[in-house]
Amino acid sequence: MDMLSNLALGLSTALTPINLAMCLIGALVGTLIGVLPGIGPIATIAMLLPLTFSLPPEGALIMLAGIFYGAQYGGSTTAILVNIPGEASSVITTIDGYQMARQGRAGPALAIAGIGSFVAGTIATALIVIVGPSLAGLANYFGAAEYFSLMALGLVAATVLANGDLVKALGMIFVGLLLGLVGTDVNTGAQRFTFNLNILADGLGFVPLAMGMFGLAEIINNLGQPPEQRSLVTKRIVGLFPTMADLKASTGAVLRSTALGSVLGVLPGGGPTLAAFSAYVLEKKIAGPSGTFGQGDIRGVAAPEAANNAAAQTSFIPMLTLGLPSNAVMALMIGAMTIHGIAPGPQVMTQNPSLFWGLIVSMWVGNLMLLVINLPMVGLWVQLLKVPYRILFPAIVLFCATGVYVIGLSVFEVYLMAAFGLIGIALSRFGCDPVPLLLGFILGPMMEENLRRALLLTNGDPSIFVMRPISAGFLALAAGLIVLALLPSLGRKRDEVFSE
What average pLDDT does range 335-356 have in this prediction? Answer: 77
Domain ranges across the chain: 2-499
Question: Distance between CA atoms of 10 and 334, rounded to whole angstroms?
Answer: 20
pLDDT recorded at residue 1: 46
Q: At what angle do helices 166-180 and 144-161 cross, to 10 degrees?
A: 140
pLDDT higher than threshold 60 for residue 127 = yes
Q: How confident is the model at residue 418 (pLDDT cuts 50, 70, 90)?
A: confident
pLDDT recorded at residue 495: 57
Contact of 33 with 41, CB cutoff 8 Å: yes
Contact of 268 with 324, CB cutoff 8 Å: yes
Question: Distance between CA atoms of 56 and 365, rounded to whole angstroms?
Answer: 19
pLDDT recorded at residue 249: 82
Estimate to the nearest angstrom the gap between the alpha carbon of 328 and the chain centroid. 6
pLDDT recorded at residue 340: 76
Give the model confidence (pLDDT) of 43-64 as tens digits.
777 777 767 777 888 888 888 8
Q: CB-based contacts of 15: which residues, under 8 Å, 6+ apart? A: 361, 365
pLDDT higher than threshold 70 for residue 291 = no
Q: How confident is the model at residue 231 (pLDDT cuts 50, 70, 90)?
A: very low
Q: How confident is the model at residue 403 (pLDDT cuts 50, 70, 90)?
A: low
Query: What is the radius of gyration, based on Cα positions, of the chain?
Result: 22
pLDDT higher than threshold 60 for residue 236 = no
Give the model confidence (pLDDT) of 167-214 as tens digits.
787 888 888 888 888 887 767 777 888 887 788 877 787 668 777 776
Write the Ramachandran bin of 380: left for phi over 0, alpha for psi from -120 to 50, otherwise beta. Answer: alpha
* Burial environment of residue 291 by CB neighbours within 10 A (0 to 12, 13 to 18, 19 or more): middle
pLDDT recorded at residue 408: 67
Q: CB-based contacts of 195: which residues, under 8 Å, 6+ apart? A: none
Mean pLDDT for the chain overall: 76
pTM: 0.69
pLDDT recorded at residue 144: 79
* Of the candidates 170, 129, 193, the residue with the CA atom closest to the CA atom of residue 357: 129
